[in-house]
Amino acid sequence: MRFFYNRITIVLVIILSPFLVTAQTSTNGSNANAIATAVPFLTISPDSRSGALGDAGVAISPDVNANYWNPSKLAFIESDNSFSLSYSPWLRNLVPDISLSYLSYAHKLDDRNAIGLSLRYFNIGTIALTDGNGNSLGNFTPSEFSIDGSFARKFGENFSLGLTLRYIHSNLSNGSASTPNQGEKAGNAVAADVSAYYKNPTQEFGTDALFAFGVDISNIGTKISYSDNGPSYFLPTNLKAGIANTWYIDNANDVTFALDINKLLVPTNAGSDVSVPAGIFQSFSDAPLSTEFHEIYYSAGLEYTYDKALALRAGYFYQSPSEGGRNYLTLGVGVKYQEFGFDFAYLAASQANSPLANTLRFTLSANFGGTK
């Protein structure tokens, strides 16, 4: 018997975006021109601080959400224990019940070593199933999640390295939408990240300053498959590199400028049947040079902090229209009271019909247990 979803077409596109190279919108908001990978939810910025900085975060000052941006920074966090919970309604211009939740924890082992744990959960909403005669088959909620464990260590006073291991689970179908004997199933994969962070206290324009550089290669892992005999798909292996420069104007005021660049390390041809290592190297040379440059996307942000208690943020994200077309302005604010913090971010897409327009992010955080 043939089954179908009685939701609007865009939901099918969102759910099946890992399989459809010609999809109109992926779960991370990219259009049909973007390089297609499985589990694109792994590329969505989860927290409000970086979300307000145009999705720049690889080199900004360390906090617990370094678990996502650059785990090597965890070696420089100040508190013994840090906790963060983030939530974002997602693609609300298209569908009312999609969301991303992110839970992050960091613990300092000693002055040089730290560990981190995080959980990311992507809820794709509830879908009512019917058969060909319109009879109800119940509801199904496709979802995806990842669980991370990280270790970071200082080497000297200003440099650190990090390693992350990740388990990924992607359940996009309960089997009722497939033809018999296809063996459709949830996808599972494992991956690793490697990262580095360097900071340099200095003097600039007659005031104290801090220059920082970070790099993170994420989601280096197995391909993922959604059927027993079907094809396997690349994870969104990604290279992030960035700088952040902070000027300490006086004891109460400081300003940070951050700039990140990103490039997916997967073949331009999503259907390429090569190994993961070969795909990473192929990603730098499998298209004309001009196209390779278009595959790089940019995040820039500015953060003003007063007395370490109030932060105002703004940023811009740019991706070439020929390679995904995500372009948006971000704004945000952060407040801190004693050991607790609240951050908020707002995304204002430059295209009026963008599925990302008016996206909100909320983050609650806390530090406890003293400092090492």
Burial 191-223 (b: 16+ CB within 10 A, else e): bebebbbbbeeeeeeeeebbebbbbbbbbbbeb
Q: What is the pLDDT of residue 333?
A: 98
Q: What are the structural domains, with CATH classification, of the chain?
A: 40-368 (2.40.160.60)
In this predicted structure, the answer to whether residue 271 has a pLDDT above a threshold of 90 is: no
Element (DSSP H or E) covering residue 281: helix 276-282
Beta bridge partners of 244: 212, 258
Q: What is the pLDDT of residue 9?
A: 39
Q: What is the pLDDT of residue 177?
A: 44
Q: What is the pLDDT of residue 289?
A: 77
Q: Residue 166: exposed, middle, or buried by beta-carbon count in 10 A (0-12, 13-18, 19+)? A: buried
Beta bridge partners of 346: 331, 360
Q: What is the pLDDT of residue 36?
A: 82
| Residue 125 pLDDT level (bands cut at 50, 70, 90) | confident
Angle at 46 between CA 42 and CA 47, to 5 degrees: 160
Q: Which two tokens stand for residue 158?
A: 């200003």
In this predicted structure, the answer to whether residue 109 has a pLDDT above a threshold of 60 is: yes
CA distance 372 to 369: 9
Q: What is the pLDDT of residue 250?
A: 93
What digits encode the pLDDT tens for the residues 48-98?
999 999 999 999 999 999 999 999 999 999 999 999 999 999 888 788 889
In this predicted structure, the answer to whether residue 365 has a pLDDT above a threshold of 80 is: yes
In this predicted structure, the answer to whether residue 211 has a pLDDT above a threshold of 50 is: yes
What digits encode the pLDDT tens for the residues 168-209?
999 987 654 444 445 678 899 999 999 999 999 999 988 999
Length, in residues, of the chain: 372
Q: Is-above-0.85 flag for pTM?
A: yes
Q: What is the pLDDT of residue 340?
A: 95
Mean pLDDT of 248-260: 96
CA distance 44 to 91: 12
Mean pLDDT of 21-26: 42
What digits encode the pLDDT tens for the residues 313-358?
999 999 988 777 789 999 999 999 989 999 999 998 766 567 788 8
In this predicted structure, the answer to whether residue 11 has a pLDDT above a threshold of 90 is: no
Nearest partner of 22 among 8, 9, 36, judged by Cα: 36
Q: What is the pLDDT of residue 145?
A: 96
What digits encode the pLDDT tens for the residues 287-299?
777 777 888 999 9
What digits encode the pLDDT tens for the residues 146-167?
999 999 999 999 999 999 999 9
Q: What is the pLDDT of residue 32?
A: 56
| Residue 20 pLDDT level (bands cut at 50, 70, 90) | very low
